[in-house]
Amino acid sequence: MKNKNVMQNIEIEKMVLNCGGVDDKLERSIKLLNIITGEKICIIKSTKRLPSFGISPGKKSGCKVTLRDREKINSLLKRFFAAVDNKVTKKQITLNHLSFGIREYIEIPGIEYNRDIGMLGFETSLVFKRNGKRVKLRKIKKGKYPKKEEVKPEEIIEYLKKNFKLEVVNKKWQQAIGEKHWNNLTRNQL
């Protein structure tokens, strides 16, 4: 059996958690992300005016945190995937990315309800890469990173199934129905 090229291996480059809100909800969002990660939180300022949400240009409208430590990312991902029943949809996976949301933070194993935060959810984005992406990002002797080196959705699905035993379903409503009931349905009932 021929060994696979090491430069073709994919890995998680970073994980970004973000949560939106203004005024009181923003403060609760900052507390939530701080409890989950224990890292420094970055405040996001709006560039557009959205009067229905009470947002104007330059106003604080959200917060985010970026994690690059692989061990911490893996431990958090196992808990986050457990919160979504180890299922994601194909629609959530794109070129180099996987994004999914958690409706309420109390669904995450090991985190209890906090009165100061109330009921909040957040979004998680994973960025995947291959070895050698640094060539594109470095300042000195910057090189080209060809399109064929991008991580395709099929490779991300394979990586998630292998490392996190994650199930990828085709449609969101199929995920909502559940596997047990989905198998019992016939085409006429759909």
The three-point CA angle 145-148-152 to 5° equals 115
CA dihedral 145, 146, 151, 155 (to 10 degrees): -140
Spatial neighbors of 139 by CB under 8 A, at least 6 apart, are none
Tell me, what's the pLDDT at 189? 52
Domain count across the chain: 1
Kindly state whether residue 154 falls inside one of the protein's structural domains: yes
Kindly state whether residue 80 falls inside one of the protein's structural domains: yes
What is the value of pTM for the model shown? Answer: 0.81
Structure tokens at 89: 């949809």
**Helical spans, DSSP H, in 13-151:** 24-37, 70-83, 134-137
Tell me, what's the pLDDT at 75? 94
Question: Strand, helix or coil at 189?
Answer: coil
Kindly state whether residue 189 falls inside one of the protein's structural domains: no
Structure tokens at 77: 């991902």
Q: What type of residue is 162?
A: K
Kindly state whether residue 162 falls inside one of the protein's structural domains: yes
Kindly state whether residue 69 falls inside one of the protein's structural domains: yes
Look up the domain containing 94 and give its range: 13-184
Write down the mean pLDDT value for the chain: 87
pLDDT at residue 70 greater than cutoff 90: yes
Helix (H) or strand (E) run with residue 58 in it: none
Kindly state whether residue 59 falls inside one of the protein's structural domains: yes
Question: Strand, helix or coil at 60?
Answer: strand
**Residue 150 belongs to domain with CATH number:** 3.30.1440.10
125/5: higher pLDDT: 125
Tell me, what's the pLDDT at 97? 95
Kindly state whether residue 38 falls inside one of the protein's structural domains: yes
pLDDT at residue 104 greater than cutoff 80: yes
What does the buried/exposed string (b/e) look like for 64-99 if buried means 16 or more CB atoms within 10 Å of the residue's CB?
bbebeeeeebeebbeebbebbeebbeeebbeebebe
Closest CA to 96 of 134, 70, 128: 128
pLDDT at residue 1 greater than cutoff 50: no
Average confidence (pLDDT) over 154-172: 90
Kindly state whether residue 8 falls inside one of the protein's structural domains: no
